[in-house]
Amino acid sequence: MNLVRSTILAAAGSNRLRRLVSTAPGTRSVVERFVAGESCARAVEVVRGLAADGLNTTLDYLGEDTTDVEQAEHTVRTYLNLLDQLHGEGLAPHAEVSVKLSAIGQKLSGRLSVDNAYRICAAAEQCGTTVTFDMEDHTTTDATLATVAELRRTWPWAGAVLQSYLRRTEADALALAGSRVRLCKGAYAEPESVAFGTAHEVDLSYVRSANALLAGDGYPMFATHDPRLVDILGERARWYGRKQGSYEFQMLYGIRPDEQRRLAGEGETVRVYVPFGEQWYGYLMRRLAERPANLGFFLRALASR
């Protein structure tokens, strides 16, 4: 992993820096580029705008590593409220939610996060939509996949996420090829014992895992902004005889919005990952770590005013 990326990811865990960044005058304009506001109402407004452009969405209420039962409960209630609002506005079939198990109590007790995940899935079913469970650092991979497997016994549409930087992922993709699976590169600082060390290896692993998913009868969700991978994935989908709509592309809110619309215009199903909420710091730091150009933009905005 390069030095800039590992330094920014380390900063993501610093409380001192979190306070400094959160109170800096130029922060808001940077946050607004990647985060759809702090409230459910604002997030729903953003979803409505994206839907008008033919884009599906998956909403993430920001927050992770909860060590407080009340905070976990607050997160679950926010998701239930959000699902209600999406349903009420007729947006639910095209807007789903993304949930981090660590935000709903995984670090407090495995059972608490599973019970909370059941509540969110039951609400999503009532609203006619789905849930995808984000993947966090590699120490949680087994537990998260086990939870999603358990949920899938009741809700076969419960989605898992695989990260191609992990050496294990091609095998996981083969095992999960009959399911709804989001494939991404991975956003955490991982040791080489479990993760590939070069971007090239991560890309090769991505394509091998994508092949495994496309060969199965599940629903692959390709989460990447990488133009080369997007081209390869389109070609691989055709090679496997996949019709448009039997897989989808996913990108993050605020990143390559023109490409999102171009793909949708070509008939592809595109889903935008829309994060919202007050706890945007860790999320923003991971986005900055991915792209040094964003760091320059961020520092200029902080220095302004």
Question: Which residues contact ligand FDA by CB under 6 A?
Answer: 134-135, 161, 163, 182, 184-188, 223-227, 250-252, 255-256, 273, 290-291, 294
Amino acid (one-letter) located at 75: T
Instruction: Provide the annotated binding site.
Output: 100, 135, 163, 185-187, 224-225, 286-287
Give the tokens for residue 139: 């120490």
Q: Shortest Cβ distance from residue 14 to ligand FDA (Å)?
A: 20
In 3-state terms, what secondary structure has residue 57?
Answer: strand
Instruction: Provide the annotated binding site for FAD.
Output: 135, 163, 185-187, 224-225
Give how far Cα 120 sits from Cα of 86, 87, 90, 155, Å: 14, 14, 18, 11
Spatial CB neighbours of 124, under 8 Å, sequence gap ≥ 6: 83, 96, 97, 130, 131, 155
134, 180, 203, 236: the active-site residue: 134
Is the Cβ of residue 172 or residue 290 nearer to ligand FDA in the bound state?
Answer: 290
Is the Cβ of residue 16 or residue 212 nearer to ligand FDA in the bound state?
Answer: 212
Is the Cβ of residue 84 or residue 259 nearer to ligand FDA in the bound state?
Answer: 259
Q: Shortest Cβ distance from residue 145 to ligand FDA (Å)?
A: 12
Q: Element (H or E) spanning 79, and its range? A: helix 69-88
What is the distance between the alpha carbons of residues 233 and 242, in angstroms, rounded to a whole number?
Answer: 11
Dmax over Cα atoms in the chain, in whole Å? Answer: 54
Q: Shortest Cβ distance from residue 205 to ligand FDA (Å)?
A: 12
Give the tokens for residue 119: 């509540």
Is 60 annotated as catalytic?
A: no
Is 19 annotated as catalytic?
A: no
Instruction: Provide the annotated binding site for substrate.
Output: 100, 286-287
180, 182, 236, 271: the active-site residue: 182
Cα 202 to chain centroid, rounded: 18
Which residues are annotated as catalytic?
134, 182
